[in-house]
């Protein structure tokens, strides 16, 4: 295993608390089931040893619907899945998430799903704070925001912004910057595919964009 791949999967190096919310492009506050340790998963609601084992084998999950389908397949009821989502979730892309995906966010409801879609394209979390703040208080805005992300410009994102991507360490963020300029998804897949499995490359790609 190379140093690059070790950095990529070094979950202990993930930095959540030190990134200012205003500048982060992947919101923080929830456990990401795709990168959480076995111990972190076991501490979540309704995560039996068998479910944890199966989740580790199934990941990375492509998005919220894939997570929901997996948990339903493990015989978790809608109420149990809702309890899980209050602690852990696979982030929503604010600009592409479907109605069914948004409705998986606890307490979002059809009205908020409509608002998420109405204000597209979302460009910053400051914009999210302003627009969604018209309908709910600051605490609720912050709660909803933690379920979301805005794709990072792979060629201009800062190291701190790149480190908001679940599973990306400081060393990996530096590697991303060193490969600039990024020109295509194929280039990204080739560069990362040398060190990690294709499914992990695909997981990371959903968090970035090359304009």
Residues 76 and 39 in one domain: yes
Largest CA distance in the chain: 49
Domain-embedded: residue 108 = no
Kindly state the average pLDDT of the residues 143-156.
Answer: 97
The per-residue pLDDT for range 114-149, each reduced to its tens digit, is: 999 999 999 999 999 999 999 999 999 999 999 999
Range of the domain at 77: 31-89
Domain-embedded: residue 143 = no
- Count CB neighbours of 6 within 10 A: 14
Domain-embedded: residue 20 = no
Residues 9 and 46 in one domain: no
- The DSSP annotation for 86-146 comes to TTB-PPEETTT--HHHHTTSTT-HHHHHHHHHHTPSP--HHHHHHHHTTTS-HHHHHHHHT
pLDDT, position 194: 84
Domain-embedded: residue 22 = no
Residues 9 and 44 in one domain: no
Measure the CA–CA gap between 100 and 108, rounded to whole angstroms.
11
User: Which one is predicted more confidently, 132 or 14?
Assistant: 132
- Enter the pTM of the model: 0.86
Residues 8 and 56 in one domain: no
Percent with pLDDT over 70 in the chain: 89
CATH for 194: 1.10.150
Domain-embedded: residue 179 = yes
Domain-embedded: residue 180 = yes
The pair of three-digit structure tokens given for residue 182, joined into one six-digit string: 């990024």
Pick the closest to residue 155 from 93, 208, 96, 200 (CA basis). Answer: 208
Domain-embedded: residue 96 = no
Task: For 26, list phi and psi in degrees, rounded to 5.
Answer: -115, 115
Look at the block and give the residue holding tokens 């204000």: 119
Last residue of a domain, one of 40, 74, 89: 89
Residue 15 has pLDDT above 90, yes or no: no
Pick the closest to residue 40 from 12, 61, 13 (CA basis). Answer: 12
In which region does residue 12 sit, left (phi positive, over 0), alpha (psi from -120 to 50) or beta (all else)? alpha
The pair of three-digit structure tokens given for residue 74, joined into one six-digit string: 């493990």
Domain-embedded: residue 26 = no
The per-residue pLDDT for range 59-104, each reduced to its tens digit, is: 999 999 999 999 999 999 999 999 999 999 999 999 999 999 999 9
The number of distinct structural domains making up the chain is 2
C-alpha Rg value of the chain to the nearest Å: 17
In which region does residue 168 sit, left (phi positive, over 0), alpha (psi from -120 to 50) or beta (all else)? beta
């Amino acid at each position: 295993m190379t140093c690059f791949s070790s950095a990529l999967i070094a979950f202990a190096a993930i930095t959540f608390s030190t990134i200012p919310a205003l500048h982060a492009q992947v919101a923080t506050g929830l456990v990401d089931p795709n990168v959480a340790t076995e111990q972190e998963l076991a501490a979540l609601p309704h995560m039996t040893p068998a479910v944890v084992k199966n989740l580790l084998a199934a990941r990375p999950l492509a998005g919220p619907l894939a997570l929901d389908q997996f948990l339903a397949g493990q015989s978790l009821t809608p109420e149990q899945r809702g309890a899980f989502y209050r602690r852990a979730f696979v982030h929503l892309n604010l600009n592409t998430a479907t109605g069914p995906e948004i409705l998986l966010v606890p307490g979002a409801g059809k009205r908020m799903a409509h608002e998420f879609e109405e204000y597209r394209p979302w460009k910053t979390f400051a914009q999210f704070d302003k627009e969604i703040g018209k309908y709910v208080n600051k605490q609720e805005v912050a709660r909803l925001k933690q379920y979301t992300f805005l794709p990072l410009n792979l060629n201009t994102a800062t190291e701190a912004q790149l480190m908001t991507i679940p599973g990306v360490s400081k060393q990996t963020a530096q590697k991303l910057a060193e490969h600039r300029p990024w020109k295509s998804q194929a280039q990204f897949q080739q560069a990362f595919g040398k060190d990690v499995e294709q499914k992990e490359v695909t997981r990371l790609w959903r968090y970035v964009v090359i304009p």
